[in-house]
Amino acid sequence: MRLAALRAGLARDLSALWPALLAARVAVLAGWVAAGLLRGGTEPTVRLRAEGLIAWDGTWYRDIAVFGYDAVPLEALRFFPAYPLLARALSWPFGGGQGTVSWVLIIVANLAAVVAAILVRRLVLAERGDERLANASAVALTLFPTGFVLVWAYSEALFLVAAVGFFLAIRRSRWWWATPLGILAGATRPLGIFLVPVAAIELVRSWRSSTAAQRALGVVGVVSPLVGTTGWLIWTQSRTGEWLYPFTSQSDLRGEAVNPLVRLVQGVGELFGPEVLGDGLHLPFAAAFVALVVVVFRRWPVSYGVFALLVLLSALAADNLNSLERYALNAFPVALAVAGLCTSLWRTRLALGVGLAGIVSLSALAWMGTYVP
């Protein structure tokens, strides 16, 4: 009887989500074609299009999974281990070669993207009981302008599974589920540490109504993302001698840490200077994300707003705003905010159009080497 209910629930999830899931993948294909039409014979477009869905960070994950961290450049330590090690384990029975690992990385990312969308739908249903809003939230996540990284061999999809599942667990005080998900999040992306204050907020909220055992489990759940991250930091410290190397090594790519507010002000100037086609392109996205975080704080529990704010601040606290839009995707509550604003047909069409256009254009630019995903 329980199995039948699970199947029925999954069928409802997929029935609501399959058009968006399919549309996202068609949009990615359109981006690949567009890159070929616009700059098909130039370097690095030829190389990146040949790499396909494992372009950019995907090649790092592939090499880590195939050869291990000891056989790749030291800068690979900025890529947290859960995603490549999972691909390594799943590909091992099939030989574990580069081709096999590449396919496994892509399959894991795409399956995780489906699970993440389902979990977002279930989370909104649990919070609001509103099926329209739940469906719209999952679609907004799937068709996020940088949603192409949920199709490429990137770790975002796996992180979203862990993060959304973590929220679903802590909002129901199911700390025995939150703990493994927190560890997974902390071992998948550096943003996992932002789940610690979120869990602390939820533990405080439920403290008075909890038993001593539930409180103990809650404390474990609160620190679980830190456990996943700390385990990785301990291993990298043994190799580099630096405790925070996976974080500090990012400065070579994203520049030194800066005040996020100062960076936003600087971005206004870049709209009219030589960086208008560089960091200046990210400012409209940054402004939109700031507005959406405000919406999250106004319409959702404070833990949602805190998580979205911390992720956004970490993206804005870099001198180089490359990958800002991808970081914002990890702040999944902004997708809930978008869904909540789609209260009319024209708003819904506008959001869908922006999302699909973003996936096509940003994936095309990434394959042409002019946009850093």
pLDDT of 265 reads: 54
pLDDT of 277 reads: 44
Domain boundaries, the chain: 1-154+345-373, 172-255, 257-319
Q: Are 21 and 359 contacting, i.e. CB atoms less than 8 angstroms apart?
A: no
pLDDT of 261 reads: 57
Q: Is the pLDDT of residue 272 over 60?
A: no
Pair of tokens at residue 187 = 């071992």
244-250 long-range contacts (CB < 8 A, ≥24 apart) are 245/77, 245/78, 246/77, 246/78, 246/80, 246/190, 247/78, 247/190, 249/74, 249/75, 249/77, 249/78, 250/78, 250/318
Whether omega before 44 lies within 30 degrees of 0, making that bond cis, reads: yes
Separation CA 202–CA 3 (nearest Å): 30
Separation CA 277–CA 287 (nearest Å): 17
What is the CB neighbour count within 10 angstroms for residue 124?
A: 24
Separation CA 212–CA 39 (nearest Å): 63
Range name among 38-52, 202-216, 266-280 with the lowest pLDDT average: 266-280
For residues 290-302, average pLDDT = 97
Predicted confidence (pLDDT) per residue in 44-100, tens digit:
999 999 999 999 999 999 999 999 999 999 999 999 999 999 999 999 998 889 999
Q: Are 182 and 230 contacting, i.e. CB atoms less than 8 angstroms apart?
A: no
Confidence of residue 184 (pLDDT cuts 50, 70, 90): very high
Confidence of residue 320 (pLDDT cuts 50, 70, 90): low
**CA-based torsion, 145, 228, 190, 123: positive or negative:** positive
DSSP, collapsed to helix, strand or coil, labels residue 96 as coil
Separation CA 85–CA 61 (nearest Å): 9
For residues 341-352, average pLDDT = 95
How many alpha carbons fall within 13 Å on the CB side of residue 216?
3
Please give the share of the chain, as a percent, with pLDDT higher than 90: 77
